[in-house]
């Protein structure tokens, strides 16, 4: 039987309950494990969907739910076989804490597409101590070193936390579709994901245009690195650049009209969805057929690519724009998140849980 220790956390007991302090069990570090004292954890829109059981048809929530998959902390203990980390290192954990490691996808470094599903950081069966995994809204986490990331010293730990989901979720499709100089890239939505998409696409050398429903975000989009902004509620603006984009990254998690954005793609252009609306979205096929356009989806990245992303961000001085909050402000943060009232990622100061 695996030995455990108690960890302080904050979680939800039901889809409608407020966050409350919890005591959860973490496994004692095994030979390949890293015990991390959590310093900061980002608040992802996926956390809200999961806490409110809005993905019940795909991934029903097990309560109590302790979310959090944008984790940065300090290594407190390491197992006897750990070689890549030592006590005192600043380390990170993203959306996965394990995978089968034997399927073709895992062997290719794309654990996010594990044939039998990766072990997600929270709300997924915990093969070590039973029950489900608990995330980073806690004071400690224990993870196999194969799924722990190095945080470059030039990155601010609090601002680096959202890179573990928002950063890699936008970086991975930009890299996969080989975005770079000479490409015109659209970013739909300027939230937690969108603001990282703008920064990363700009650093990769692309011309970047933001689509937003909010005129008040124009100034921010330009400050973040966008070359232009299209107000999607303005019909004239939405027809001004039709058929001119090589690639569009759609980061919106609310229901919206995909067809309006597909019309902006060139021949052979690609639009990739990284936002995850809870309900299906209608789509017409003729926009795809007549211009050989592609509509695709993308998950996070594998461990190797996530480390590449962290190193890229360090090299280019990129980090998330955040609002640092204590754990006691989580209910308020979720209410604001629903309204899109955050610039651009809430991050929990996990010292407030100790």
16 and 126 fall within a common domain: yes
**Residue 27, token pair as written in the block:** 């496994």
Instruction: Establish if 306 belongs to a structural domain.
Output: no
Instruction: Establish if 13 belongs to a structural domain.
Output: yes
First to last CA, the chain: 28
Instruction: Establish if 307 belongs to a structural domain.
Output: no
149 and 231 fall within a common domain: no
CATH code at 206? Answer: 3.40.50.720
Residue 279: per-residue pLDDT: 79
Number of domains in the chain: 2
111 and 229 fall within a common domain: no
**Residue 99, token pair as written in the block:** 């995978």
Residue 193: per-residue pLDDT: 96
Residue 119: per-residue pLDDT: 97
Instruction: Establish if 195 belongs to a structural domain.
Output: yes
pLDDT in tens, 245-284: 999 999 998 889 999 999 999 999 999 999 987 778 888 8
Boundary residue ending a domain (297, 312, 345): 297
Nearest to 127 by CA among 90, 102, 97, 167: 97
Residues 97 and 148: their CA atoms lie apart, in Å, by 8
Residues 143 and 32: their CA atoms lie apart, in Å, by 8
Residue 255: per-residue pLDDT: 87
137 and 180 fall within a common domain: no
**Cβ neighbours of residue 89 under 8 Å, at least 6 residues apart?**
74, 75, 150
pTM, to two decimals? 0.95
110 and 8 fall within a common domain: yes
76 and 160 fall within a common domain: yes
105 and 210 fall within a common domain: no
137 and 198 fall within a common domain: no
Residue 101: per-residue pLDDT: 97
Instruction: Establish if 312 belongs to a structural domain.
Output: no
31 and 156 fall within a common domain: yes
Instruction: Establish if 314 belongs to a structural domain.
Output: no
- Count of residues for the chain? 354
53 and 158 fall within a common domain: yes
Count of C-beta atoms within a 10 Å radius of residue 268: 10
CATH code at 35? Answer: 3.90.180.10
160 and 184 fall within a common domain: no
204 and 271 fall within a common domain: yes
- Which string of DSSP letters, residue by residue, matches 262-331? HTTEEEEEEEEE----SS-----SHHHHHHT-EEEE-----HHHHHHHHHHHHHHT----EEEE-GGGHH
Peptide bond into 207 cis (omega under 30): no
Instruction: Establish if 30 belongs to a structural domain.
Output: yes
Instruction: Establish if 302 belongs to a structural domain.
Output: no
pLDDT in tens, 156-180: 999 999 999 999 999 999 999 999 9
* Full residue range of the structural domain in which residue 31 is found: 4-164+321-353
From first to last of the 354 residues of the chain, give the pLDDT tens digit.
Answer: 789 999 999 999 999 999 999 999 999 999 999 999 999 999 998 999 999 999 888 889 999 999 999 999 999 999 999 999 999 999 999 999 999 999 999 999 999 999 999 999 999 999 999 999 999 999 999 999 999 999 999 999 999 999 999 999 999 999 999 999 999 999 999 999 999 999 999 999 999 999 999 999 999 999 999 999 999 999 999 999 999 999 999 999 888 999 999 999 999 999 999 998 777 888 889 989 999 999 999 999 999 999 999 999 999 999 999 999 999 999 999 999 988 899 999 999 999 998
């Amino acid at each position: 039987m695996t030995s455990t220790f108690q960890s302080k956390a904050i979680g939800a007991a039901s889809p409608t309950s407020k966050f409350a302090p919890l005591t959860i069990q973490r496994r004692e570090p095994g030979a390949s494990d890293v015990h991390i004292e959590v310093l900061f954890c980002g608040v992802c829109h996926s956390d809200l969907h999961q806490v409110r059981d809005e993905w019940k048809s795909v991934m029903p929530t097990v309560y109590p739910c302790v979310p959090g998959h944008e984790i940065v902390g300090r290594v407190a203990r390491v197992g006897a076989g750990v070689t890549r980390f030592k006590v005192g290192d600043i380390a990170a954990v993203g959306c996965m804490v394990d995978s089968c490691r034997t399927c073709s996808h895992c062997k290719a470094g794309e654990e996010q597409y594990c044939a039998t599903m990766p072990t997600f950081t929270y709300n997924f069966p915990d093969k070590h101590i039973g029950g489900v995994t608990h995330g980073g809204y806690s004071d400690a986490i224990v993870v196999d070193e194969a799924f722990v990331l190095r945080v470059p010293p030039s990155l601010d730990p609090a601002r680096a936390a959202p890179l573990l989901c928002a950063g890699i979720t936008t970086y991975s499709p930009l890299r996969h579709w080989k975005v770079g100089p000479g490409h015109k890239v659209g970013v739909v939505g300027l939230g937690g994901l969108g603001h990282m998409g703008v920064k990363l696409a700009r650093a990769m050398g692309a011309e970047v245009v933001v689509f937003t429903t909010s005129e008040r975000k124009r100034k921010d989009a330009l400050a973040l690195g966008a070359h232009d902004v299209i107000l999607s509620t303005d019909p004239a603006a939405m027809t001004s650049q039709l058929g001119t984009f090589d690639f569009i990254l759609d980061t919106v998690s609310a229901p919206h009209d995909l067809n309006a954005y597909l019309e902006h793609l060139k021949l052979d252009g690609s639009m990739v969805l990284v936002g995850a609306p809870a309900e299906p979205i209608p789509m017409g096929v003729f926009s795809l057929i007549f211009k050989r356009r592609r509509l695709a989806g993308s998950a996070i990245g594998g461990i190797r690519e996530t480390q590449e992303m962290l190193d890229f961000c360090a090299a280019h001085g990129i980090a998330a724009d955040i609002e640092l909050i204590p754990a006691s402000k989580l209910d308020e943060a979720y209410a604001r998140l629903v309204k899109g009232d955050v610039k651009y990622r809430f991050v929990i100061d996990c010292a407030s849980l100790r």
